[in-house]
Structure 1
Amino acid sequence: MKKLNKEIGNYCENLAKKYLLDSNYHILDCNFRNFLGEIDIICVKDKILIIIEVKGRYNYDYGLPKESINLSKQKSIIKVTNSYIYYKKLININIRFDVIEVYLNNQNTLFKINHLKDAFRL
């Protein structure tokens, strides 16, 4: 089951990356991880560093995708973001935290993307 979830997650992240590239975002990193956690996608648009969490769902049995990004998950993403900024020596940069929800049908043949800009803040 865990392997299947990872495959579905990778599929949703690939759909999100294509959407971002088609929307003129410049992707810097994907699946950046360290001992603090992981960031799905890091990109830039209009001189803003955008940290993106991607969540996919087939149905609403477990709620909306964005609802799974609770305060604990937000804090983890923020900690990893701070370490990324330090690691890349980025200074004087604006940061935005987005969520991309990917809704799939059971055959993975249709999908809908919902991009929630500025989904949470520091």
Structure 2
Amino acid sequence: MKNLNKEVGSYCEKIARTYLKKNDYNILECNFKNFLGEIDIICQKDGLIIIIEVKGRYNYDYGLPQESVNLSKQKSIIKVASSYITYNKIVNTNFRFDVIEIYLNNKNNLFKINHIKDAFRL
């Protein structure tokens, strides 16, 4: 089950990257990891650096994808983002935290994307 979840997560991140590129986002990092955690996608558009958490679901048994980005997950993402900013010596830049929901379909390869901009803040 754990491997299946990882495969679904990787597939959803691939869908999200394709969507972002088509919408003129410049992808800076994918799966940025350190001892604090991981950020799925870090990209840039219109002078903003955007930190993106990607969540996918086949059904609503566990709620909406965005609901899994709870306060604890948000704090973790913010800590990792802060370390990314420090490590890369980024100054005078605005940031935004987005969530991209991917709704998958068991019956075919169709999917729906919901890009929630400014999903949470520091």
Give the TM interval when normalised to the shorter protein. Answer: over 0.9
Q: Counterparts of 1:3 and 1:62 in 2: how far apart (Å)?
A: 18
In the superposition, the TM-score normalised over structure 1's length comes to 0.98
Q: Counterparts of 2:108 and 2:39 in 1: how far apart (Å)?
A: 24
Counterpart amino acid of 1:78?
A: I
* Pair 1:73 & 2:73 matched: yes
- How far off its partner does 1:6 sit? 0.4
CA deviations 1:28-82 (Å, max 9, x no partner) are 0000010100000000000000000000000111100000011000000000000
Counterpart amino acid of 1:57?
A: R
Q: Counterparts of 2:70 and 2:115 in 1: how far apart (Å)?
A: 17
State the identity as a percent. Answer: 74
- How far off its partner does 1:13 sit? 0.1
Helix, strand or coil: the match of 1:16?
helix
Instruction: State the partner residue of 1:23.
Output: 23
Q: Counterparts of 1:102 and 1:34 in 2: how far apart (Å)?
A: 25
Unaligned stretches of 5+ in structure 2?
none
In the superposition, the TM-score normalised over structure 2's length comes to 0.98
Q: How many residues align?
A: 122
Instruction: State the partner residue of 1:91.
Output: 91
- How far off its partner does 1:107 sit? 4.3
Instruction: State the partner residue of 2:33.
Output: 33
Q: Counterparts of 1:90 and 1:102 in 2: how far apart (Å)?
A: 30
| Aligned counterparts, 1:50-65, within 5 A | 50-65=50-65
Q: Counterparts of 1:5 and 1:59 in 2: how far apart (Å)?
A: 13
Instruction: State the partner residue of 2:48.
Output: 48
Instruction: State the partner residue of 1:120.
Output: 120
Unaligned stretches of 5+ in structure 1?
none
